[in-house]
Structure 1
Amino acid sequence: MTAQLVETIQSTLQPNDHPYMQGAWRPTYNEWNAIFSNGDAEVIGTIPDDIDGVYVRTGENQIHEPIGRYHPFDGDGFIHAISFKGGRASYRSRFVRTKGFAAEKEAGRSLWAGLMEPPHKSTRPGWGAQEWLKDSSSTDVAIHAGKIISTFYQCGEAYRLDPFTLEQFGTESWVPLDGISAHCKVDLATGELMFFNYSKHAPYMHYGVVGADNKLKHYIPVPLPGPRLPHDMAFTEHYTILNDMPLYWNEELLKKNLHVVQFHPDQKTRFAIIPRHGQPEDIRWFEAEPTYTLHWLNAWEEGDEIILDGYYQEEPMPKSYPNAPEGLERMMAYLDQGLLKPRLHRWRFNLKTGATVEERLDDRDLEFGMFNHRYAGKPYRYAYSAIPEPGWFLFRGIVKHDLDSRTSEAYEFGRGRFGSEAPFAPRIGARDEDDGYLVSFIADLETDQSECVLIDAKNITAGPVCRIILPERICSGTHSVWASGNDIGMGENSVLAA
């Protein structure tokens, strides 16, 4: 390994016992460049020479002493990327240089209060649906028009980075006034990016399409009954699927500028299905059982039906987390997938009759699903879901579902080992949908190190075919993306760029 410490970001964080600043969520402040080759002591197994592309993972990493109570989703965006080509790998890590990051670096302290504090505690106006939060661009990453798009879950400006070097280019020029939410979607078949946003003012949601040339092509209102909290979207070859779910801010408390989430079990879940470039009058609304779904898997068209897979929460409003530190009970409960009980689920929307049919695909707690994105918006067979660690916002393994045969197999990372969302990386010249690797970053709490693992997607129970030990243990994260080199264009910024 050849490793270079690029910069250490100065932190004002004081020693503390916050549960999400310890263990796998312990913040780190070093930015690295590193190159790995087979034969290096840090490479266990063999880096395969039949993949070409980049794995990018983001997450929250707090830099400064927080204002009031800290929620892990308040942390600054920190991106880790590892590229593969010709049996070599290149790792880089960088904080996203958001406007909030720059302002707090200059001030040497936190300027914005977080998710669990009232607006008046922030010293400056903020961003997003709640208006006083810092847009930390820490939730999600996509790759579109050759660049990373880094986004914030409560809507923000969207930051643009090079996927190989992590060089930063500021905010996207096409982002509308209300920003864009995390979980924009990229259709590899057309090069288009679809996005949505939400806010506290009518019409409460918008939907847009950006072309392969990175220019805004379409932007329309999606009127809702009031402020909502959508988190994800899905698409098929011809349609986009948005949602209005009965988990949203208490309307009376919102009048007092208090953002308290409440589940309304007497209200149906609603799905908006719209042609990709359709108008508001083209929206078809479908009703389903009340729930909240944080993340979707995939969707496709089949005859008169649109089929959508995602993670249906059995308990969107969980009871308080047992033995939580005082003041953190609600936060701990909403981060515990074992209390939320997300289950792999399927919805069928009949465009001819207007009927919705639902089906449970797995009764285990599962979330953060991935699949081969060459099948995005199309019929697919294999899904890869993360296995939650009971009591924590952590993942201890992966379940592979064969959705045709309705069978599954699982791999667990091992004691004290927690993984990141694991996208699928197709082999060069892949012949089958599952002909490739699952890629993830693992935090090993017993050895106090992090590693990148590659797992053969055809045989996940065998464990990693390759483990690459990173320069230091990194903080746990949220979402990730894989992009093959020929989908990005390697150009000058190749995997082995200096």
Structure 2
Amino acid sequence: MPHLINRIPATLSDNDHPYLTGAWTPNFDEYDADDMQVIGKIPDDIDGIYVRNTENPVHDAIGRYHPFDGDGMLHMIRFSEGKAEYKNRFVRTRGFEAEQEAGRSLWIGCMGNPKKSERHGWGAHSHIKDSSSTDVVVHAGNILSTFWQCGEGYRLDPQTLDTLGIDGWVPLDGISAHPKVDPATGELLFFNYSTHAPYMHYGVVGPDNKLKHHIPVELPGPRLPHDMCFSPNYSILNDFPMFWPQAALDAGFYIPVFDKNMPSRFAVIPRYGKPEDIKWFEAESTYVLHFMNAYEEGDELVMDGYFQEDPRPAPLKSVADEYQAMASNLDLHSLKTHLHRWRFNLATGQTIEERLYDEEIVEFGTINQAYAGQKHRYVYSVTGEDGYFLFTGMIKHDLETGATQQFEFGEGRYGSEAPFIARKNATSEDDGYLVTFITDMNLDRSECVLLDAKNIEAGPVCQIILPHRICSGTHAVWANADELSPSVQTA
């Protein structure tokens, strides 16, 4: 049964902001729930947790609100022996606690003038609050929640969702969202970026949660990297022509521009390499939010990700005037995203690029994480609603045959990034499930949905009705029970 654990005091006003209403309506209640209504049958051949990060602003913004400003909240569902338990908790960041004490927002959002922040916080970009609302991974037995503008990184207990605090190894400039966990070694690979030289750092944290490696990565100026990739022997960072102009920074404004006449650059670093070991590769001008995977093939390092045809699209006319610029930069159709492949020849320094599929507007993909760093065959991407940052369905790409399968969530139903779960004793790369939270605006509820990864077109294996309608979100992670701290492993 659902149990209301806590109701966070909120001062958010009612308004018509497209990312504070509808499927983006914030949550302030924290629940524990078991014995939930189930449509279908929960598989008994999976054991672990699905965790999704969402943005839930508790107080009115000082300036214009952007959905990436909202306070981080984790939603977790635990599967074991054909049963499921759910809970959700805010990430108790230092910024969240300070604003709870003040009863109002203290930091400007990412679209505002930093001079209007009442407080300055921590990390490389202290003019905005580290809301820990962007990405989530599991490393060294615990959940790690991160922020896109290089926050502190917060650990949470995977049984209780209690915020455990900040790791002592986190560098002064923080860590970006999208650190990567290598399943073969248990290592966490991370980067950060800042507005001061050398503008980027790269590091490795061991499976014991201790910093093993940390080096500067010199860039020509401040950049806005969002993701990275790795293979067994290399890490791949990026220098895209998306950046804050120095003149704007000097005036106190963080307004990114995209220069289509500049190439994209990729830094290939041996996992424990030194700055002088970095090899730079040039490629077609673009911006990439998310990469899928990388692997080594002879002299080549092969990397897949989501290429943007139009990284700075024109304002989106289908929304209200004041939101048009923001909406276009959140709209997959405006950005024209598609699956793309880069091949970096480590012997010759040559880059070869290939568009993998022509017809789909896709992003936020996942793979079977057992193949991270290895050659993979299947990618599971989301499709987006035209005009809004909402996910309307899934596409499975078979990179070997070119075949695709598609599943639409349905009118008024919006999902989240859907990690792959391998069945116990799986016999193939796609032998398992995809898991997602879906917000259903028609029935005013949310549910956890499992799809058969071999046949997503068949529709849900099961639907687990959550105790409340949850806010739409972005990133998510699956972790098997044996990856978690001992308190939540199956006995």
Task: Give the TM-score taking structure 1 as reference length.
Answer: 0.97
**Which of 223, 231, 254 does residue 228 from structure 1 map onto?**
223
1:139-173 deviation line (CA, Å, top 9, x unaligned): 00010000001000000110001123212211111
1:215 equivalent in alignment to 2:210: yes
**Which of 51, 73, 77 does residue 56 from structure 1 map onto?**
51
Give the Cα separation in 2 of the matches to 1:188 and 1:324: 42
- Give yes or no for contact 2:159–2:487 (8 Å, CA) kept in 1: no
1:346-373 deviation line (CA, Å, top 9, x unaligned): 0000001110000001121100010000
Counterpart position of 1:261: 256
| One-letter amino acid of the counterpart of residue 134, structure 2 | T
**Which of 367, 371, 374 does residue 371 from structure 1 map onto?**
367
- Give yes or no for contact 1:90–1:495 (8 Å, CA) kept in 2: no
SS for the counterpart of 1:120 is helix
Counterpart position of 1:181: 176
**Which of 453, 461, 476 does residue 480 from structure 1 map onto?**
476
Give the Cα separation in 2 of the matches to 1:495 and 1:15: 44
- Give yes or no for contact 2:318–2:387 (8 Å, CA) kept in 1: no
Give the Cα separation in 2 of the matches to 1:255 and 1:4: 50
1:414 equivalent in alignment to 2:410: yes
1:102 equivalent in alignment to 2:110: no
Give the Cα separation in 2 of the matches to 1:323 and 1:186: 39
1:415-446 deviation line (CA, Å, top 9, x unaligned): 10000000001111111111110000000000
Over 3 Å counting, the alpha-carbon distance change for 1:17 and 1:392 in structure 2 is same
Counterpart position of 1:19: 18
1:54-89 deviation line (CA, Å, top 9, x unaligned): 001001111111112111110000000001000111
Q: CA deviation at 1:495?
A: 7.5
Counterpart position of 1:251: 246
1:28 equivalent in alignment to 2:24: no
Give the Cα separation in 1 of the matches to 2:251 and 2:162: 42
- Give yes or no for contact 1:165–1:493 (8 Å, CA) kept in 2: no
1:89 equivalent in alignment to 2:84: yes
Give the Cα separation in 1 of the matches to 2:348 and 2:49: 43
Deviates more, 1:133-142 or 1:256-265: 256-265
Give the Cα separation in 1 of the matches to 2:313 and 2:171: 34
Give the Cα separation in 2 of the matches to 1:301 and 1:482: 25
Alignment of 1:351-390 (within 5 A): 351-363=346-358, 364-390=360-386
Give the Cα separation in 2 of the matches to 1:406 and 1:158: 38
Counterpart position of 1:147: 142
Instruction: Please list every run of 5 or more consecutive structure 2 residues that lacks an aligned counterpart in the other structure.
Output: none
Q: CA deviation at 1:113?
A: 1.1
Give the Cα separation in 1 of the matches to 2:349 and 2:245: 30
- Give yes or no for contact 1:98–1:137 (8 Å, CA) kept in 2: yes
1:467-491 deviation line (CA, Å, top 9, x unaligned): 00000100011111001112225x3
| One-letter amino acid of the counterpart of residue 216, structure 1 | L
Counterpart position of 2:423: 427
Q: CA deviation at 1:266?
A: 1.0
| One-letter amino acid of the counterpart of residue 369, structure 2 | H
1:345 equivalent in alignment to 2:340: yes
- Give yes or no for contact 2:481–2:490 (8 Å, CA) kept in 1: no
Q: CA deviation at 1:323?
A: 4.3
- Give yes or no for contact 1:300–1:306 (8 Å, CA) kept in 2: yes
Counterpart position of 2:432: 436
Give the Cα separation in 2 of the matches to 1:432 and 1:324: 44
| One-letter amino acid of the counterpart of residue 362, structure 2 | L
- Give yes or no for contact 1:27–1:474 (8 Å, CA) kept in 2: yes
Give the Cα separation in 1 of the matches to 2:122 and 2:361: 33
SS for the counterpart of 1:21 is coil
| One-letter amino acid of the counterpart of residue 122, structure 1 | S
**Which of 429, 454, 466 does residue 458 from structure 1 map onto?**
454
| One-letter amino acid of the counterpart of residue 52, structure 1 | D
- Give yes or no for contact 1:68–1:113 (8 Å, CA) kept in 2: yes
Alignment of 1:317-336 (within 5 A): 317-336=312-331
Counterpart position of 2:445: 449
Counterpart position of 1:393: 389
Give the Cα separation in 1 of the matches to 2:105 and 2:250: 27
Q: CA deviation at 1:324?
A: 3.3
Give the Cα separation in 2 of the matches to 1:268 and 1:161: 39
SS for the counterpart of 1:450 is strand
- Give yes or no for contact 2:434–2:451 (8 Å, CA) kept in 1: yes
| One-letter amino acid of the counterpart of residue 375, structure 2 | P
| One-letter amino acid of the counterpart of residue 31, structure 1 | E
Q: CA deviation at 1:327?
A: 3.0
1:84-133 deviation line (CA, Å, top 9, x unaligned): 00011111100000001101111111111111110111101134444310
Instruction: Please list every run of 5 or more consecutive structure 1 residues that lacks an aligned counterpart in the other structure.
Output: none
| One-letter amino acid of the counterpart of residue 219, structure 1 | H
1:223-265 deviation line (CA, Å, top 9, x unaligned): 0000000000000011000000011112322221211111111
Give the Cα separation in 1 of the matches to 2:471 and 2:230: 31
Counterpart position of 2:8: 9
Q: RMSD of the alignment, in Å?
A: 1.2
Give the Cα separation in 1 of the matches to 2:323 and 2:119: 25
Counterpart position of 2:289: 294
- Give yes or no for contact 1:421–1:440 (8 Å, CA) kept in 2: yes
The number of residue pairs the alignment matches comes to 490
Could you list the runs of 4 or more consecutive aligned residues of structure 1 that deviate by over 2 angstroms after TM superposition? 126-131, 323-329, 491-496
1:304 equivalent in alignment to 2:333: no
Give the Cα separation in 1 of the matches to 2:189 and 2:215: 12
Counterpart position of 1:165: 160
Identity of aligned residues (%): 60
1:239-295 deviation line (CA, Å, top 9, x unaligned): 000000011112322221211111111110000001001000000000000000000
1:69 equivalent in alignment to 2:64: yes
Give the Cα separation in 2 of the matches to 1:492 and 1:71: 37
Give the Cα separation in 1 of the matches to 2:128 and 2:122: 6
